[in-house]
């Protein structure tokens, strides 16, 4: 009785690469640093944009604020972001 091909494949020696624990830890730390840095940069960018918009809005006069809010509402109703 012949064996199924997948059973024969299981008997063949496998080539495996084992990472040393130290190198694995270094790779993990590097990935965490890169991801953390990207997250911080993205948050800072969003914060700076928000702060600029807020400061610009606070310096508007009352009439300009009304116009700004009406325009914003108009575009929101049309589902166009400004």
3-state secondary structure (DSSP) of residue 40: helix
**For residue 78, what is the DSSP state?**
T
Token pair, residue 73, equals 């509402």
Q: Is there a domain that residue 70 lies in?
A: yes
DSSP 55-74: HHHHTS-HHHHHHHHHHHHH
Tell me which DSSP letter residue 47 carries. Answer: H
Q: For residue 57, what are the contacts with CB-CB under 8 A and spacing of at least 6? A: 65, 68
> Whole domain around residue 23: which residue ranges?
18-77
Does residue 56 belong to any structural domain of this protein? yes
82 inside domain: no
Quote the pLDDT of residue 44.
72
Look at residue 67 and tell me if it is in a domain: yes
Identify whether 48 is part of a domain: yes
- Structure confidence by residue, pLDDT tens digits, 20-77: 676 777 777 777 777 777 667 777 777 777 777 777 777 777 777 788 788 888 877 7
User: Does a structural domain hold residue 71?
Assistant: yes
Domain contains 44: yes
Q: Is 11 a member of any domain?
A: no
Domain count, the chain: 1
Between CA 40 and CA 37 the distance in angstroms is 5
């Amino acid at each position: 009785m012949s064996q199924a091909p997948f059973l024969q494949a299981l008997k063949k020696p496998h080539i495996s690469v084992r990472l040393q624990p130290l190198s694995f830890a270094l790779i993990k730390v590097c990935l965490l640093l890169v991801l953390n840095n990207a997250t911080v940069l993205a948050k800072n960018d969003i914060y700076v944009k928000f702060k600029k918009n807020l400061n610009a809005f606070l310096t508007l006069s009352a009439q300009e604020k009304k116009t700004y809010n009406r325009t914003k509402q108009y575009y929101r109703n049309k589902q166009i972001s400004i």
